[in-house]
Structure 1
Amino acid sequence: MAGEWNIEAADVDAYLARVGQRREEPSAAALGRLAQAHVETIPFENVDVVIGRHRGIELEVVSEKLVGRRRGGYCYEQAGLFAAVAEQLGYQVQRTVARVQPRKSGPYTHMTLVITVEGQQFLVDVGFGAGILVPMPLIDGAEVDQAGWRHRMTLREGWWVLQKQDADGWDDLHEVLPLVHSRPLDYQVFHHYTSTHPKSPFTGRVVVMRLEPGRFRRLLGREYQESRPDGTVETRTIELVDLGKTLEDLDVFLAEDELAALLKTY
């Protein structure tokens, strides 16, 4: 009988084919390979939210979208799918939430995972977009090179803070809520706010992000930006006639009616 997370709704073999990986016994190295393959393959994108066609974050829906139709999604979709696959592969998974840009006092709405393997807990954040390629060990002060950018975990007053190094020092990306027993309905609430509230950063414009070694690309509305670890940033405005091609370059492939609906939002 399916448990409360209904993880069997995720077809592990189909998912592994989608991200170009094979089954491996649980290990820290295997987890790293799987997480990196996921981030490099499945784009962060919110097109369905923007055009009012988001069908929800139930695992059956997410699997059909991200694996079956080879689309991307945002954190609840991506982390939810990865968690289900990881559990079926034998990993110990805890689903949790984080506050993005904690110094700005935003809400706890970002879904993250804490996965334990070989006696060590790791932050696995496949659905952050502007985040990390490989897991971060939950060790105070642990630094990991992420696609060319230095990241660090800091334990601050009982909270795990993910930081990224820039020219001014260490910038807080998000802080993870102390681990609690979360339930599927919790994420339905977070998703409802994130996909419908006018103050959500994902309801008013398209957001697409792609992270790979040595390069971070994002599309915010019509602004396309490409960043590199040396600090080089290229920014340009996308003409609407080029929107479809730009999305395809970011691995977001839309049906004609989806692209037409998206263009109407500009």
Structure 2
Amino acid sequence: MNSAQVDAYLRRLGVARPRRATGGALCELHLRHLQTVPFENLSVHLGEEIVLEEKRLLDKVTAARRGGFCYELNGAFGALLAALGYEVELLAGRVYGEEGRLGIPYDHLALRVGTADGETWLADVGFGAHSHHPLAYAERGEQADPGGVFRVAEAGPDAAGARGGGEAAGAGDLDVLRDGRPQYRLETRPRVLADFAAGAWWHSTSPLSHFMRSLVCSRVTEDGGRITLSGRTLTTTGADGARGTRELDTDEEVLAVYRERFGIELSRVPTVRRRNPS
């Protein structure tokens, strides 16, 4: 990233350039990313190609003022952090599904981030409803966060099998848990962005992918709650857990919510592309 790209990204987040690559600055960047850059899969249903190249990701987040899913959001955020002086490594994860089953290889992308003050964090702005702040990478106890109580745990040989339907963990694998439930399993070997191309392709084309079966656009709100537009259903959740939903009747209402609540300008309302499993 060049200096102009960094400045454009920081303007999107609404934050000043940090003086040093500290843990405190990382926490602010992480939260502001969740508040301003939506987790969304609109490209899948608008017929837009998802390309895991740094410039394409940066252009989508800054120039187009869009969001994306994990590969795009954490890919772009990782590039920003590296340009700001953080040590960034991409980690591959597999998301826990029904009955403790793990998803495909390269199912998820998260970031291991080293700071100028010697700390190591697990940053993830691409998992939807997750931690608002980075998690201490080496901490194995509970970590309280506005998004829940999280824990980074060693994934033992029978960690998944004990939950039913899982797979034995690889050496050094980590499980990330939220409120006692496993969210995803991370490999600790660093990867490069191109390694995730097959995962991005599968999630954006396979009828077995949940991204192909539904529409989502979601972000953390300034009060610590969450707002989500799923198709025509608008859901708001307060920081206290109070939840409200309403159905949007017209295309104009849908486009207005994308524009006013998520900062996304669309020329047409995306609809789920129907495909039958082969």
Say whether the fold is shared (TM-score over 0.5).
yes
2:62 partner SS: helix
Residue in structure 1 matched with residue 160 of structure 2 by the alignment: none
- Match runs of 1:159-178 below 5 Å: 159-165=173-179, 170-177=180-187
1:18 partner SS: helix
- How far apart are 1:265 and its partner, in Å? 5.2
**TM-score where L is the length of structure 1:** 0.85
Residue in structure 2 matched with residue 46 of structure 1 by the alignment: 41
Which sits farther off after the overlay, 58-67 or 208-217?
A: 208-217
- Alpha-carbon distance in structure 2 between the residues aligned to 1:67 and 1:38: 12
- Match runs of 1:51-70 below 5 Å: 51-70=46-65
Which runs of no fewer than 5 residues in structure 1 stay unpaired? Answer: 1-6
Residue in structure 2 matched with residue 215 of structure 1 by the alignment: 225
Residue in structure 2 matched with residue 232 of structure 1 by the alignment: 242
Change (3 A) 1:188 1:10: farther
Residue in structure 1 matched with residue 10 of structure 2 by the alignment: 16
CA offsets, 1:36-66, max 9 Å, x none? 1111111111111112112422111111111
1:186 aligns to 2:203 (yes or no): no
- Alpha-carbon distance in structure 2 between the residues aligned to 1:10 and 1:52: 29
Residue in structure 1 matched with residue 256 of structure 2 by the alignment: 245
Residue in structure 2 matched with residue 153 of structure 1 by the alignment: 152
Which runs of no fewer than 5 residues in structure 2 stay unpaired? Answer: 157-171
Which sits farther off after the overlay, 234-243 or 35-44?
A: 234-243
CA offsets, 1:12-39, max 9 Å, x none? 1111111111222111101111111111
- Tell me, yes or no, if the aligned pair for 2:120 and 2:136 is still in contact at 8 Å: yes
- Alpha-carbon distance in structure 2 between the residues aligned to 1:82 and 1:33: 13
1:21 partner SS: coil
- Tell me, yes or no, if the aligned pair for 1:10 and 1:81 is still in contact at 8 Å: no
- Alpha-carbon distance in structure 1 between the residues aligned to 2:215 and 2:183: 21
**TM-score where L is the length of structure 2:** 0.81
Residue in structure 1 matched with residue 123 of structure 2 by the alignment: 124
- Alpha-carbon distance in structure 1 between the residues aligned to 2:154 and 2:50: 37
- Alpha-carbon distance in structure 2 between the residues aligned to 1:171 and 1:230: 21
Q: Which of 112, 116, 120 is equivalent to 1:114?
A: 112
- Alpha-carbon distance in structure 1 between the residues aligned to 2:4 and 2:132: 22
- How far apart are 1:8 and its partner, in Å? 4.9
- Alpha-carbon distance in structure 1 between the residues aligned to 2:104 and 2:2: 31
Q: Percent of pairs identical after alignment?
A: 28
Total equivalences in the alignment: 251
Which sits farther off after the overlay, 100-109 or 67-76?
A: 100-109
One-letter identity of the residue aligned with 1:136: L
Residue in structure 2 matched with residue 91 of structure 1 by the alignment: 86
Residue in structure 2 matched with residue 3 of structure 1 by the alignment: none
CA offsets, 1:204-228, max 9 Å, x none? 3211111234312223333333334
Residue in structure 1 matched with residue 22 of structure 2 by the alignment: 27
Change (3 A) 1:9 1:265: farther
Q: Which of 63, 80, 102 is equivalent to 1:105?
A: 102
User: Alpha carbon RMSD of aligned pairs, Å?
Assistant: 2.3
One-letter identity of the residue aligned with 1:38: H
- How far apart are 1:96 and its partner, in Å? 0.8
2:259 partner SS: helix
